[in-house]
Amino acid sequence: MLPLEGERNPIPLLTTKFIEGQGRFSPDGRYIAYVSNESGPYEVYVRPFSADGKVGGPQMISQGGGLQPQWPHDGKELFYITPDSKLVAVPVSTTPTFRSTGAPEALFTVPISGIGFAYAQQRWATMPDGQKFLINSVRPEAASEPISVILNWMELLKK
């Protein structure tokens, strides 16, 4: 975390012996969803978070692996991707405290290959209504196609 006032020295959000990342704050700012290997495989967890930087205990959301959590705008679900590339929705409530309000549901298979913890860049996003998704589905074979880089292109425009 980076305080906006005072000395503005970075403060670690979590300090544990586990590998944790891909954090996303809930729309109301009271919770953080993240990925951790606390239980062995990478799973999605949620912790309470307060503006003074205090973080509560973890609650595991995924079962059988989960990566890249996302909250829709209304905060009534939590989405994540399973190791077999399924996009899963878990109905949740954040008031008065965080809790799952239903069973996880696999929505569809995402056309993303090579998704893993090491790939920290989010490769998908939920639209504000939580009903549509934007997915970067670059094919692995496309990654090996040559790239042309044009230098001094401004000079070429003058000709």
DSSP states of 48-117 as a string? EB-TTS-B---EE--SS--EEEE--TT-SEEEEE-TTSEEEEEEEE-SSS-EE-S--EEEEE----S--T
Cβ proximity of 78 and 90 under 8 Å: yes
pTM assigned to the model: 0.76
Q: How many percent of the chain have pLDDT more than 70?
A: 86
Average pLDDT of the residues in 73-89: 91
**Per the domain annotation, does 53 fall within a domain?**
yes
**Per the domain annotation, does 12 fall within a domain?**
no
In degrees and rounded to multiples of 5, residue 145 shows phi and psi of: -70, 145
**Per the domain annotation, does 31 fall within a domain?**
yes
pLDDT for residue 144: 63
pLDDT in tens, 93-134: 988 889 999 999 999 988 766 555 555 567 788 887 778 888
Average pLDDT of the residues in 76-103: 91
In degrees, to the nearest 5, what angle opens at C-alpha 93 toward C-alphas 49 and 111?
A: 90
The residues near 143 (Cβ < 8 Å, ≥ 6 apart) are none
**Per the domain annotation, does 109 fall within a domain?**
yes
pLDDT for residue 72: 92
Average pLDDT of the residues in 75-94: 92
For the chain, the domain total comes to 1
pLDDT for residue 42: 92
**Per the domain annotation, does 13 fall within a domain?**
no
The residues near 4 (Cβ < 8 Å, ≥ 6 apart) are none
pLDDT for residue 79: 94
Q: How many percent of the chain have pLDDT more than 90?
A: 31
**Per the domain annotation, does 147 fall within a domain?**
yes
Local structure of residue 131 (DSSP, 8 states): S
